[in-house]
Amino acid sequence: MSWGIAETASEIEKIKAESADYLNGLNSCGEIEYSIYSNTFDFYAELIDKAYKQGVQDERRRYDDGYTGEYIKDEDVLKFYYVESLDDYWIGRRLDTMYYATWSQTLKDFVWSKSRYLPWGKHVVSPETLWKEHTYPSEPKEIPIADWLKGFYKKYFKPKWILCSERMPECEQEVLICTKKKVYISKKSGMEWYEKPVITPAIYEDGTMLDVNSKWRWEDIDYAGWDEEEDCGIVPEGWWENRHFNPDGVYNNPVDKEVIAWMTLPEGYKEETKDD
């Protein structure tokens, strides 16, 4: 390994080294900024340490309870898996049974669950239950840590376009949008229409925002309605190109083309220090 990890290093340190190598490669080829590389590696290192320590604690607890079997090896504490049916990346650890951890976007952490008796890939009908029927995911397939890191990063951390047909951003959240616009191009045969994607910062209004509660100033727009209690207008639903540096008297710029997709904005620039 290029990070100088000795063959005698523990399995946990080797995993961290592979993580660092992969992220450093993304940074070197310009796919991610240094700040993202640094923050993501810190996250991976903390995650791996947390899962490893939890596995060791659980294993030692078994021995305290009288277990006399073979002691778990370091390399068996953590395994990395891909679940094809869910297009998801899990972490596993085996004690007397198997536990899997799935990433929670809400908690921003992994959630562990016992899975010894899951009927992998089967569709189960149980009318007596609240869920009535359920299709279990395909059985997790163990993959190399480098493949797991690459897939997990792209799924949960790499900025990506979200189709408007799938979901919309929160009201007045500043995002990048992608729309199509027809422009003229000059050819030998004359001017012709050409359709190209346009990417610009924008906000989405869901038709419920009162202009007195809005983060933006609204002038000379056709309100969607009037709130008698607050004595103010309701901002109409739609996309608006948000600009922070406007000429005097210029405020609202509706996007009059179909918005196809959007993505969250990157973090602002932070000056690197010697500690970085």
- Residues β-bridged to residue 162: 262
Closest by CA to 18, choosing from 33, 1, 40, 35, is 1
For residues 29 and 15, what is the distance between their CA atoms, to the nearest angstrom? 22
Residue 183 corresponds to which amino acid?
V
For residues 80 and 5, what is the distance between their CA atoms, to the nearest angstrom? 20
Q: Own/partner pairs for 209-214, CB < 8 Å, 24+ apart?
A: 209/171, 209/172, 209/234, 209/235, 210/234, 210/235, 211/235, 214/172
Closest by CA to 103, choosing from 74, 123, 80, is 80
Q: Which residues contact 228 (CB under 8 A, 6 or more apart)?
A: none
Q: Could you list the pLDDT tens digit for every one of the 276 residues in the chain? A: 344 566 676 666 766 677 677 667 666 666 666 666 666 666 666 666 665 665 555 555 555 555 555 554 544 567 889 988 888 999 887 666 677 888 887 777 788 887 756 677 888 888 887 778 888 888 888 888 778 888 888 888 777 888 999 889 989 989 999 998 776 666 666 667 777 788 999 999 999 999 999 988 888 889 999 999 999 999 999 999 877 777 776 778 889 888 999 998 877 777 766 555
pLDDT of residue 165: 92
Distance separating the N- and C-terminal Cα atoms of the chain: 22
Determine the Cα angle at 267 with ends 252 and 253, to 5°. Answer: 10
Q: pTM of the entire structure?
A: 0.48
Q: Please report, for the chain, the start and end positions of each structural domain, with discontinuous segments joined by +.
A: 11-158, 163-264
Quote the strand ranges of 71-114, DSSP E. Answer: 79-83, 88-94, 98-104, 109-114
Q: What are phi and psi of 173, to 5 degrees?
A: -75, 130
pLDDT of residue 48: 65
Instruction: Region of 187 please: left (phi>0), alpha (psi -120 to 50) or beta.
Output: beta
pLDDT of residue 122: 82
Start-end of H helices in the chain: 11-28, 34-64, 145-156
For residues 232 and 69, what is the distance between their CA atoms, to the nearest angstrom? 72
pLDDT of residue 270: 73
The structure tokens listed for 102 are 């799935």
pLDDT of residue 75: 46
